[in-house]
Chains A and B, each alone.
Chain A
């Protein structure tokens, strides 16, 4: 099918997420439900990963709450284009709240990969980088190559945020790798790593 040939173009999503989390240091990572959660687990499981398996549309805002709670840490949200679109208003909220330590990376395959690869708005011409810019997130960019992604890593590690990148990847499913699903276990693992005994106060 012609559509599938076209959608196979673009970066490998696992290679993209691996590059994003490689030198994360003590950063906190929130992953949007579906492939972003699986990718992040597959290439870099970490106690400080908040894996979302639900709450579609909420990843960026969970990132905002975390960034405001931990202003000395970098916070990276890794999520899909469909998940970002469901909470698109949060780009306006984040622009106004202006957390200096928050980065949002959208893994954009232009499709709803979890539900049968239906084309998403992003695959039909909608430009979420433009939406992020118009909301007021000045550092917003679309990345189309591994070189461009490598250059952006400095932005997410160091630039005063919020920063946003829409990263175009191929619409090719990656091998299934699933992290822990129990939400309470995910909470305790993350909070214990971040807060120590205070997690149980």
Chain B
């Protein structure tokens, strides 16, 4: 039998999906990440959501500006390494006071195997904050629903860029022996 904690560890992508739907998100742009794979599959299967795969993360930042100008709400999914690619494009959001909801799965901070992930993982939150993005972090799976809901409201009701960092502790260790 699964413990409550194990159950929680497998359903958090469903929690995210439900919160996105509840908040009227109709556009989902992503650079694939293993931590987001279940969520990406659910979004692809959802008819009310337009799901766009990107070649690089800053494309999604620019896309979210157009989405909101057109009256739609979107979410941008990426891994922490992709945050570095977004910085100049985020200037549009501060200057135009546009909302963006970024959902970032962290690498390089908790039980990491790949040393090349550590530099960007260590500067992800600071880089976002320097670019004018409000950053909230989730350490435990059971916090995701509440935090994401709060961040979606903050972003779309006040027209501000907001990022939710899903810490590596939530995702678990990547299995390198597979």
Contact = CB atoms under 8 A, between A and B. Distances in A.
Q: Which 7 residue pairs are nearest across A and B when measured between Cβ atoms? A: A69-B70, A65-B66, A58-B62, A89-B55, A183-B96, A69-B72, A183-B95
A93 B59 contact: yes
B56 A89 contact: yes
Interface residues on A, range: 35 or more
A191 interface: yes
Contacts of A199: 71
B67 A57 contact: no
Interface in B48-106: 50, 52-56, 58-72, 74, 88-89, 91-92, 95-98
Majority secondary structure, A binding face? helix
Interface of B: 26-27, 50, 52-56, 58-72, 74, 88-89, 91-92, 95-98
Contacts of A93: 52-55, 59
Contacts, number: 120
A70 interface: yes
A107 to B, nearest CB: 18
Interface string A43-82: 0000000101111111111111111111000000000000
Given A52-B92, A89-B54, 12 more contacts: A54-B91, A57-B58, A60-B62, A61-B66, A65-B65, A67-B66, A68-B72, A69-B26, A89-B59, A97-B52, A187-B96, A187-B97
A183 B95 CA distance: 5
Nearest to B90: A55
Given A62-B65, A96-B53, A191 B71 contact: yes
Given A65-B72, A68-B27, A58 B52 contact: no
B92 A183 contact: yes
